[in-house]
């Protein structure tokens, strides 16, 4: 910084003001300092800055299996929101979620001096690990559930399932079958809850549930089972779009027409869903809003410098109508 000040012909304090976007710097002086910075290839020492300010301007993110559309989109939304707020992001991605793994990841990020931590906690095992957060560490759980003193930001999974199931009943289907996500996933539990609640409230029979693992392959196997019951099965709510893709493939192979014989609703609204054959009716999750709200909550904690009451922020889902659903055949 002293070299930059010398080349620009200004004081050390003026260089600091330019670097921190202080408004009380003349435009000509600011240009001269920025030109000197470029000429010398100056980069701020973030470690030294953190020692002075007590803030690293870095946020930690703990996530799981970012090859899945939901977690990957959530992490992307968080990262973009953090950068918009002037923070860098350090991400630890775990192959499997368990309490020990999450604790190790949180400990590692705390040792790196992050200002706060976002935990993408889609499973109960991850949510329970939040009980072990370092004292005083600002933290937010995303797409999770937690009964402790940690703020949570999530999409309303129950409402999304209600929208999907209600749509199929409104089309005249006697009941709606469900292909769920795997056990221990909080999102899968919320979607099951919403599906059952709508059928119960309408006085409709609740069929046996099929369980997948979020993959198209598991949806394909579920589709084979459901195709064998074609006639009895006329409507299916699938817990994510990728499994719905597997169902469509299985139904095509078995000669079951969608939506003429069976209507399908997915969940997530992945970019490819509008190009399925037929285009998939689904529930959209606003991952950008999840990222922005989680970072807003975390920054409020960081900037306050003290414990704040925990928050529960819910992002509403959106129903997207396409060509995979139709009025029930009579």
**What are the tens digits of pLDDT across the range 79-92?**
999 998 889 999 99
Q: Quick check: bond before 66 cis, omega within 30?
A: no
Token match 């059928």: residue? Answer: 199
In angstroms, rounded to a whole number, what is the distance separating the alpha carbons of residues 99 and 76?
Answer: 23
pLDDT 10s digits, 23-45:
788 888 989 988 988 888 887 65
**Which residue stretches of the chain are H helix?**
2-8, 12-19, 27-40, 46-53, 69-84, 99-111, 124-129, 157-170, 186-201, 216-227, 241-253, 287-304
Which distant-in-sequence residues (6+ apart) come within 8 Å of 224 by Cβ? 250, 254
The H-or-E segment that residue 92 falls in is strand 88-94
What are the Cα distances from residue 39, in Å, to 8, 18, 32? 10, 16, 11
Which distant-in-sequence residues (6+ apart) come within 8 Å of 102 by Cβ? 62, 94, 119, 121, 125, 126, 129, 130
Query: Sorting pLDDT into bands at 50, 70 and 90, what band is 53?
Result: very low
In angstroms, rounded to a whole number, what is the distance separating the alpha carbons of residues 285 and 215?
Answer: 18
| pLDDT-wise least confident of 58-72, 131-145, 276-290 | 131-145
pLDDT 10s digits, 302-326:
988 766 678 889 999 999 999 999 9
pLDDT 10s digits, 213-263:
999 999 999 999 999 998 899 999 999 999 999 999 999 999 999 999 999
Residues β-bridged to residue 61: 91, 118
Cα dihedral 146, 155, 151, 182 sign: positive
Residues β-bridged to residue 235: 263
In angstroms, rounded to a whole number, what is the distance separating the alpha carbons of residues 248 and 182?
Answer: 20
With a pLDDT cut of 90, the percent of the chain lying above it is 55
Query: Residue 129 in contact with residue 144, Cβ under 8 Å?
Result: no
Q: Quick check: bond before 259 cis, omega within 30?
A: yes
Q: Give Cα 102 distance to the centre of its chain.
A: 17
Which tokens belong to 79? 């990262």
Query: Residue 230 in contact with residue 261, Cβ under 8 Å?
Result: yes
Which distant-in-sequence residues (6+ apart) come within 8 Å of 112 by Cβ? 56, 58, 60, 90
* Total Cβ atoms within 10 A of residue 221: 18
pLDDT above 90 for 264: yes
């Amino acid at each position: 910084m002293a070299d930059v000040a010398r080349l620009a012909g200004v004081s050390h304090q003026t260089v600091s003001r330019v670097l921190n976007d202080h408004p009380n710097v003349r435009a000509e002086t600011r240009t001269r300092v920025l030109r000197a910075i470029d000429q010398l290839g100056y980069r701020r020492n973030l470690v030294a800055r953190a020692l002075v300010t007590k803030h690293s301007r870095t946020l930690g993110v703990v996530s799981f299996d970012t090859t899945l559309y939901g977690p990957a989109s959530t992490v992307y939304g968080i990262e973009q929101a953090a950068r918009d707020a002037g923070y860098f992001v350090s991400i630890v991605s775990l192959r499997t979620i368990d309490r020990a793994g999450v604790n190790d990841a949180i400990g590692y990020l705390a040792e790196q001096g992050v200002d706060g931590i976002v935990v993408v906690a889609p499973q109960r095992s991850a949510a329970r690990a939040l009980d072990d957060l370092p004292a005083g560490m600002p933290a937010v759980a995303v797409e999770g559930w937690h009964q402790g003193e940690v703020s949570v930001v999530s999409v309303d999974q129950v409402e999304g399932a209600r929208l999907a199931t209600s749509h199929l009943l409104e089309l005249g289907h006697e009941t709606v079958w469900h292909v769920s996500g795997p056990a221990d996933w909080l999102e899968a539990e919320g979607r099951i809850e919403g599906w059952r609640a709508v059928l119960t409230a309408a006085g409709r029979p609740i069929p046996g549930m099929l369980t997948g693992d979020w993959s198209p392959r598991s949806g394909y196997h579920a589709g084979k089972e459901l195709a064998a019951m074609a006639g009895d099965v006329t409507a299916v709510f699938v817990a994510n779009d990728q499994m719905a893709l597997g169902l469509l493939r299985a139904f095509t192979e078995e000669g079951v027409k969608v939506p003429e014989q069976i209507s399908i609703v997915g969940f997530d609204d992945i970019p490819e869903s509008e190009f399925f054959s037929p285009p998939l009716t689904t529930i959209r999750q606003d991952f950008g809003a999840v990222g922005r709200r989680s970072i807003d909550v975390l920054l409020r904690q960081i900037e306050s410098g003290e414990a704040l009451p925990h928050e529960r922020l819910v992002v509403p889902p959106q129903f997207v109508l396409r060509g995979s659903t139709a009025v029930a055949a009579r």
